[in-house]
Structure 1
Amino acid sequence: MTERSSLRTRAVAGEPVDPTYRAIGTPVVQATSFVVEPGEVGFSAADMQEEQPYFYGRWGSPTVRVLEQRLADLDDGEDAVCFASGMAAASGLLLHLLRAGDHAIVSDVCYAGVAELCAGALRRLGVEITFADLSDLEEVRGALRPGTRLVYAETPVNPTLRLADVEALADLAHRAGAALAVDSTIATPFGLRPLALGADYVLHSLTKYACGHGDALGGVVVGRRAAMAALRQDALVHLGAAMSPSSASLILRGLVTLPLRMRAHEEGARAVAEFLERHPRVRRVLYPGLASHPQAELARRQLQNASGLLAFVADGGDALARRLAERLRLILYAVSLGKHRSLVYFLPTEDLLRTSFPLQGDKAARFRAVAGEGLFRLSVGLEAPEEIVADLEQALR
């Protein structure tokens, strides 16, 4: 594509025509091994070259490689490495960058799998972890130390939809000699540009909005070319969480409609959030697209799309969750987000504080003040917004 092509056009027309069959679309190459010339490729990953023939499916494959190039283009990165899931991408990056004695600052509320990995396995390996509120720049500044190697942010954060100022965090991290990684799954490349704002790495769970249809797992890390080559050689090859060509094909299909879907997700989420704010049973709605969001100014400044995920607090807790599961007709009671169908799931506060978020004292109290008994996480799908609202209205009645 030309440099002047818009992000929307690149999403649709950025996939190259297949050179073998001139097919419009990338063939699914279901192969785990590829024929090479003797001595052409080293047997060990230590001999891996940045440009070399396909050798073994765990190292890379043609279908997955097209997806990596598409994702790097959409995020304005030099290259990308795909993994079998979003959690594999996060684990691969963290285990690749951090070693015993290193220090990392991690968002104190983030995707549960990442929080549990940092609090458990990384600490057991000797990595020092400080969990911090990354929306509080003074807290981040106070947490930085000479051994800090990484600041790991998520924005908007799952499940409270708190935002982080990527540009300010990048400045703080780089002044301290640390790198900044940003999980931008909820925002997608159409809502946030972390690399353009100074981040060193951007991550996505491709299972969510990028795929969009709920039928493939995947994850990606995007960044500079040399950094991605090192990540591939170390984390992808040795941890073994390689993406399958069939999953890559399904996610490639999803990228084509991603700009249109994100526009529709945002439209629906805004309508639902505004309805819930007016509902007498609902005590709080958390959505970056609302003027009531505590970081509405930052949302206007950094988010080009507020996405389709929101959370709300309502009277009833577990009992209301059971009632919604029984009474909702259009919205499904199910985990995950970013699908074409609307999904709701109840996250009890005490369960989150016991298992995922290591918050103590005043921080735990502040989380309870925001989340109440628990958060209803609602991923607004592509159904007609007025019909999603009507379904909620009858279930909450």
Structure 2
Amino acid sequence: MDSNQIRMEDEDNVPRRAVDPSTRVAHDPHDDEHQGAVVMPIYQNSLFTFSTYEEFDRAMTGNGDIPVYSRGHNPTVQQLEVRLAALQGGEKARCFASGMAAISTAIMAHVRSGDHVICVNQAYGPTRELLSVFLTQYGVETTFVDGTSMDAFQAAVRSNTRVMYLESPTTQTFRLQDLRACAELARSIGAVTIIDNTWATPCYQNPFEFGIDLVLHSISKYIGGHSDIIGGVLIGSEETISRINRSEYLLLGGVMTPHSASLTMRGLRTLPLRMEKLEQNGLTVARHLEQLPFVRKVNHPGLASHPQHELAKQQMHGSSSLFSFETDLPPEEMKAWAGRLGYFRIGVSWGGYESLVTVGRSVPGYESIQGSIVRLYIGLEHPQVLIEDIMQASHGLDI
């Protein structure tokens, strides 16, 4: 089956066949259970009761998928989990209150005191803090490596390595890891591979194709798509997700609300369509930036100039619209430049409809960067409007 396709479930009047992601997120069968509602209802309740004690016992001693209490299962959230697992090509998914709740649960489910983790050195900042500060209190050690080098991964391996944590591409300098090689190395040492796949989305990268064990996303970004929810999802095998559900998920309590799940399903409807437009917008602006005299380098895996462009084409079916550029100009000057932009808002996060900008000096593993590194998120505005905005703000630069 093509990597861009997922398998439909058997539905009334719908043949069982492979369909593209756009059709999958747009089409639902008629829903008799909810009076033909075209939108899944929000089950805004904390608990579920049973007509007999026998039914209650079955729910309490079963596989945990029957709603009993919304800290465990909620029908609205469950419906989103089914959709996300199918779109990403995994067997089962669990949704969380935030991306960090999904990240911390995934890691903590696979380490114990005395264990060792290998993590790419440009992973999301709070992920690095979880590994380098919080988990060290409990005897878990982490080695941070240059994710572009398999030699670095191999050199970091210890007899107690239990997790290999990936983020491909990273979201500051947009470096990739060779997913197949990482998965093979992890299997050879008995470690689990976990990847943050937020940048590429399920539309443009399926890590399961390359042997990765667990895939996670910050739902707050592209999947939600409207900058109005916080959430995360962890996707993997039936066995792994069920085991995590019985332990870390229930005990840590970072559960998604039914309302957030409903908003996410709304955003999911247009994810493939939005990603097509965002990819086009991002590449248009990135290519223009490559021509500007004050830009030393543009970090975008979709550009032919990216040092891992060939690997990107092998692993991904497209690119998103978050990237960075490097300049010799100091951060103070580039912050003033950012302040002159009219269509880019200054702020963290990304994946919504609005364009964003942040300015920094260096990133982990690349402290040698001189000048500034500017991260741009290209939203759904017309790319020519954004280019003109960049040009008018650049008139005040000392170049």
Query: Matches of residues 70-109 of structure 1 in structure 2 within 5 Å?
Result: 70-109=83-122
Structure 1 residues 117, 271: CA separation in 2 closer, same or farther (over 3 Å shift)? same
Instruction: State the one-letter code of the partner of 2:387.
Output: V
1:286 aligns with 2:296: no
Q: Structure 2: which 5+ runs fail to align?
A: 1-7, 9-15
What amino acid is the match of 2:244?
Answer: L
Aligned 1:269-280 pairs, distance under 5 A: 269-280=282-293
Whether the aligned pair in 2 keeps the contact of 1:321 and 1:345 (CA below 8 Å) is no
CA distance in 1, matches of 2:322, 2:193: 24
Matched, 1:125 2:138: yes
Give the deviation of 1:347 after TM superposition. Answer: 2.5
Q: Contact conserved, 1:134 with 1:164, CA < 8 A, in 2? A: yes
Q: What corresponds to 1:25 in structure 2?
A: 39
Per the TM alignment, residue 319 of structure 1 is displaced from its structure 2 partner at its CA by 2.1
Number of residues of Structure 1 aligned to a counterpart in Structure 2: 380
One of 4, 19, 25 as aligned partner of 1:11: 25
Counterpart residue identity of residue 38, structure 1 = Y
**Aligned residue number for residue 360 of structure 1:** none
Deviations 1:108-142 (A, max 9, x none): 11111101110011111111211111221111112
Q: Is the 8 A contact 2:321 2:377 kept in 1?
A: yes
Give yes or no for contact 1:14–1:70 (8 Å, CA) kept in 2. Answer: no
Partner of 2:342: 329
1:48/1:233 contact within 8 Å kept: no
Deviations, residues 51-107 of structure 1 (Å, cap 9, x unaligned) = 542111110101100110000001110000000000110011111111101111111
1:10, distance to aligned residue in structure 2 (A): 1.1
> C-alpha offsets along residues 28-55 of structure 1, whole Å, 9 cap, x if unaligned?
1111111134364569x9x663254211
1:38 aligns with 2:36: no
1:15 positional shift: 7.5
Decide which moves more: 87-96 or 322-331: 322-331
CA distance in 2, matches of 1:248, 1:340: 19
1:186 aligned residue: 199
d(CA) in 2 for partners of 1:227, 1:133: 28
TM-superposed CA distance for 1:11, in Å, is 2.0
For 1:98, what is the secondary structure of its paired residue?
coil
Q: Does the C-alpha gap of structure 1 residues 18 and 134 become closer, same or farther in structure 2, counting only changes over 3 Å?
A: farther
User: 3-state DSSP class of the match of 1:97?
Assistant: coil
- Whether the 8 Å contact between 1:185 and 1:204 is mirrored in structure 2 is yes
**Superposed, which structure 2 residues align to 1:1-397 within 5 Å?**
1=8, 2-13=16-27, 17=31, 19-36=33-50, 37-38=52-53, 40-41=55-56, 49-349=62-362, 352=363, 357=364, 363=365, 367-369=366-368, 371-397=369-395
Question: Which amino acid is the alignment partner of residue 392 of structure 1?
Answer: I
Amino acid at match of 2:391: E
Check 1:165–1:16 CA distance in 2 against 1; reply closer, same or farther (3 A cut): farther
Retained in 2: the 8 A contact 1:89–1:219? yes
- Preserved contact between residue 18 and residue 24 of structure 1 (Cα < 8 Å): no
Contact 2:106–2:194 (Cα < 8 Å) also in 1: no
| Contact 1:15/1:25 (<8 A) preserved | no
Q: Would the alpha carbon gap of residues 187 and 271 (structure 1) be closer, same or farther in structure 2, given more than 3 Å must change?
A: same
Q: CA deviation at 1:226?
A: 1.1
Runs of 5+ in structure 1 lacking a partner?
A: 358-362
Cα distance in 2 for partners of 1:378, 1:65 equals 34
Cα shift at 1:396: 1.4
TM score, norm. by length of structure 1: 0.91
Task: State the Cα RMSD in Å.
Answer: 1.8
Aligned-pair identity in percent equals: 38
Are residues 380 and 48 of structure 1, via their aligned partners in 2, closer, same or farther at CA, if it must alter by over 3 Å?
farther
